[in-house]
Structure 1
Amino acid sequence: MNKWNKALIALLLLTLTEPVVAQSLPHPIIVATADERPQLLQTIATYDWARSMVAELHGRIDSIADVHKKRPQALLTTLPPFSFDHGGYSEQEAAFLANAHNRILMTASESGMLYYLTKNDKYAQLSADILTAYIEELAPKTPQTTTICGNEFYDPRTTYPHFALAYDFVYNFLKKENTKTFSSKLEKHIRFDNDLAQKALGNMIGNVLQEYGKPDKHGQRVSNHPILTAPGALFMILCVEDDTERERLFKIFWEEGTAHQNSFKNTILPLYSDQGLWPESLSYGFMPIVSMVLNIVDRIKPEMEVTKTAKHIFNGNFLYDYLRYPDRRFVRYGDSKRNNDFTENNYRYALHIAARHGYTDIAEKAQLALHRAYEAKGGYTPNLKSTSPYDQYQHLQLFWGIDVPPQLDSSIDFNKKTVIIEHAGIALQRNYARENNTLYGLCGIIGGAHYVHSHLTGIGMELYGAGYVMAPNAGLPPTVPERRIPLHEHYFRLYAGNNTVVVNGTSHGLDEGSWKGKANVWQNTVVNIAAEPKHLEEGIAEEFSFATQFLNDTVNNATQERTLSTIRTSETTGYYLDVFRSKSNGENLIHDYIYHNIGDTTHILDADGQQLALQPTQRYQNDIGDTVKSPGWRFFEETKTTGPTKEGIKVRFDIEYDSTYMHLFVPAGTEKEYTQALAPPTREAKNGYVHKKTQVLAIRQQGEAWDNPFIAIFETSKNQGASVQKVASLKDGAKTIGAIVSSKTDNSRITDIIISQDSDTALYKNDELGLSFKGRFGVVRTLVRGNTTEMVLYIGKGEQLIFEKKELNANADHTGVLRYNKQY
Structure 2
Amino acid sequence: MYIKKKFLFFPFRWAKYFIVASTIFSTYTLASDIERPSIWVKNSERQVILDKIRTEAWAKSLFEVMKQRVKPLASNELTERRALLEQLPLVWKNGKSQSPTLPLQKIKGGATDVERRSVVKSLQDGVDCGVLYYLTQEEKYAKCGADILFTFIEALKQLEVRKDGGMNSGWMFPTNHLYEARVIGAQIPIIYDFVYSYLKQGGKVYDLGSSGLVDFNFDDAQETFKTYIWLALNRGLLPSNWPVLESSSLVHNTLALDDRKERAKYLTYYTHTDTQNQASLKTVYRMFENEGDIWPESLGYSRHVAAYSIYLMTLLDRYDPSLNLGDKYPNIPAAFMSYYDLQFPNEKYPFFGDGHRNYKVEYSALEMSYLLGKLNKNHKLVTNFGNYLVSSLNKGDYDRGHLHKRVYGAAPYYVPTQLLWYSKKIESSADVDVDPPRPRTKRLEFAGINIQRNISTANPVKNSLMAFLGGGSYIHGHASGIDMELYGQGHVLGVTAGKSKYRTDIHENYYRIFAGHNTVISNGASGSKGDWINLGIDNVQAVDAEPSYYTDGVSPKHSFSISSFYDEHNLVAPAHHQRTMALIKLSETQGYYLDIFQAKSNADEQFHDYVYHNVGDSVNFTSSGIELPLNEDSNRYKASNSLEWKLQSKYKHPGWHYFQEVHSSGVIQKPIEALFTAAKLSDKKIFMRAMMPADNGIEITKVSAPPSYGVGKAYHKKTTPTFILRRQGDAWKNPFTVVYESKTEGDDFTVQSVERINANDKFKGVKVTVSVAGKCLTQVILLQDNIDDVYQGENTGIYFKGRFGLITLDDDGNVREMYVGRGSKLSIGNTSLTANNAKSSAYQSF
Q: Fold match, TM over 0.5?
A: yes
Q: CA deviation at 1:717?
A: 0.6
1:60 matches 2:69: yes
Change (3 A) 1:542 1:612: farther
Partner of 2:730 in structure 1? Answer: 704
Partner of 1:489 in structure 2? Answer: 508
One-letter amino acid matched to 1:241:
D
Deviations 1:738-760 (A, max 9, x none): 21111113343222111122222
1:77 matches 2:86: yes
Deviations 1:477-507 (A, max 9, x none): 3xxxx21101111100000011100000000
Kindly, what percent of the aligned residue pairs are identical?
27
| Residue of structure 2 aligned with 1:224, choices 234, 241, 254 | 241
Conserved 8 A contact 1:609-1:650: no
Aligned counterparts of 1:358 and 1:43: Cα–Cα separation in 2: 22
Conserved 8 A contact 1:272-1:279: no
| Residue of structure 2 aligned with 1:345, choices 364, 367, 371 | 364
Partner of 1:370 in structure 2? Answer: 389
Higher mean C-alpha deviation, range 788-797 or range 801-810 = 788-797
Q: CA deviation at 1:774?
A: 0.9
1:120 matches 2:141: no
Change (3 A) 1:370 1:252: same
1:433 matches 2:456: yes
Partner of 2:553 in structure 1? Answer: 539
The alignment partner of 2:228 has SS state of: helix
One-letter amino acid matched to 2:56:
Y
One-letter amino acid matched to 1:597:
N
1:642 matches 2:661: no
Conserved 8 A contact 2:104-2:110: no
Aligned counterparts of 1:790 and 1:695: Cα–Cα separation in 2: 39
Map 1:314-393 to 2 at 5 A. Answer: 314-374=333-393, 378-380=397-399, 382-391=402-411, 392-393=413-414
The alignment partner of 1:345 has SS state of: helix
One-letter amino acid matched to 2:845:
R
Partner of 1:156 in structure 2? Answer: 181
Partner of 2:421 in structure 1? Answer: 400
Partner of 2:710 in structure 1? Answer: 684
Aligned counterparts of 1:375 and 1:425: Cα–Cα separation in 2: 36
Aligned counterparts of 1:580 and 1:364: Cα–Cα separation in 2: 41
Partner of 2:43 in structure 1? Answer: 34
| Residue of structure 1 aligned with 2:268, choices 241, 251, 257 | 251
Conserved 8 A contact 1:776-1:796: yes
Change (3 A) 1:119 1:793: same
1:301 matches 2:317: no
One-letter amino acid matched to 1:285:
S
Partner of 1:170 in structure 2? Answer: 195
Map 1:639-678 to 2 at 5 A. Answer: 639-657=662-680, 658=682, 659-678=685-704
1:608 matches 2:625: yes
Aligned counterparts of 2:274 and 2:252: Cα–Cα separation in 1: 16
Aligned counterparts of 1:104 and 1:532: Cα–Cα separation in 2: 55
Conserved 8 A contact 1:617-1:641: no
| Residue of structure 2 aligned with 1:508, choices 527, 538, 542 | 527
Q: CA deviation at 1:535?
A: 0.6
Higher mean C-alpha deviation, range 185-194 or range 409-418 = 409-418
Partner of 1:561 in structure 2? Answer: 578
Change (3 A) 1:18 1:163: closer
Conserved 8 A contact 1:419-1:428: yes
Aligned counterparts of 1:731 and 1:142: Cα–Cα separation in 2: 74
Count of residues in Structure 1 that have an aligned counterpart in Structure 2 = 786
Aligned counterparts of 1:748 and 1:50: Cα–Cα separation in 2: 58
Partner of 1:807 in structure 2? Answer: 832
Conserved 8 A contact 2:547-2:559: yes
Map 1:185-200 to 2 at 5 A. Answer: 185-200=209-224
Change (3 A) 1:166 1:586: same
1:263 matches 2:274: no
One-letter amino acid matched to 1:486:
D
1:819 matches 2:845: yes
1:419 matches 2:442: yes
Unaligned runs of 5+ in 2: 1-23, 92-100, 164-169, 645-649
Change (3 A) 1:579 1:96: farther
Higher mean C-alpha deviation, range 584-593 or range 447-456 = 584-593
Partner of 1:281 in structure 2? Answer: 298
Conserved 8 A contact 2:671-2:691: yes
1:523 matches 2:537: yes
Q: CA deviation at 1:593?
A: 0.4
Conserved 8 A contact 1:801-1:809: yes
TM-score, normalization: structure 2?
0.88
Q: CA deviation at 1:428?
A: 0.5
Q: CA deviation at 1:120?
A: 1.4
Change (3 A) 1:465 1:68: farther
Aligned counterparts of 1:533 and 1:811: Cα–Cα separation in 2: 15
RMSD of aligned alpha carbons = 2.6
Q: CA deviation at 1:277?
A: 1.6
One-letter amino acid matched to 2:324:
E
Change (3 A) 1:588 1:176: farther
Aligned counterparts of 2:732 and 2:113: Cα–Cα separation in 1: 50
Higher mean C-alpha deviation, range 299-308 or range 116-125 = 299-308
The alignment partner of 2:639 has SS state of: coil
1:25 matches 2:34: yes
Higher mean C-alpha deviation, range 123-132 or range 108-117 = 108-117
Partner of 1:272 in structure 2? Answer: 288
Deviations 1:617-636 (A, max 9, x none): 32111217252100001111
Aligned counterparts of 2:743 and 2:506: Cα–Cα separation in 1: 31
Conserved 8 A contact 1:143-1:205: no
Higher mean C-alpha deviation, range 407-416 or range 24-33 = 407-416
| Residue of structure 1 aligned with 2:635, choices 598, 618, 641 | 618
Conserved 8 A contact 2:75-2:141: no
Aligned counterparts of 2:141 and 2:25: Cα–Cα separation in 1: 39
TM-score, normalization: structure 1?
0.90
Conserved 8 A contact 1:69-1:126: no
Q: CA deviation at 1:404?
A: 3.1
Q: CA deviation at 1:95?
A: 5.5
Aligned counterparts of 2:787 and 2:563: Cα–Cα separation in 1: 13
1:791 matches 2:800: no
Conserved 8 A contact 2:90-2:102: no
Conserved 8 A contact 2:103-2:110: no
Conserved 8 A contact 2:484-2:519: yes
Higher mean C-alpha deviation, range 658-667 or range 84-93 = 84-93
The alignment partner of 1:795 has SS state of: strand
Q: CA deviation at 1:93?
A: 8.0
Deviations 1:165-215 (A, max 9, x none): 2111222112112x00101222111122222222222223333323xx79x
The alignment partner of 1:453 has SS state of: coil
Change (3 A) 1:209 1:24: same
Aligned counterparts of 2:32 and 2:731: Cα–Cα separation in 1: 71
One-letter amino acid matched to 1:488:
H
Aligned counterparts of 1:16 and 1:604: Cα–Cα separation in 2: 80
Q: CA deviation at 1:332?
A: 1.9
The alignment partner of 1:308 has SS state of: helix
Conserved 8 A contact 2:366-2:389: yes
Map 1:709-728 to 2 at 5 A. Answer: 709-719=735-745, 722-728=749-755
Partner of 1:237 in structure 2? Answer: 254
